[in-house]
Amino acid sequence: MSDKTLFEKILDREIPAKIAYEDERCLAIHDIDPKAPTHLLIIPKRVIPRIAEAGEADAELLGHLLLTAKKLGSEHGPEGFRIVINNGPHGGETVPHLHVHLLAGRPLEWPPG
Q: Roughly how many angstroms between the first and final C-alpha of the chain, as a whole number?
A: 34
**52 to each of 85, 96, 99, how far by Cα in Å?**
11, 11, 12
CA angle 26, 112, 100 (to 5 degrees): 5
Which one from 39, 76, 97, 99 is the annotated catalytic residue?
99
- Is residue 99 part of the annotated active site? The answer reads yes
The residues carrying an active-site annotation are: 99
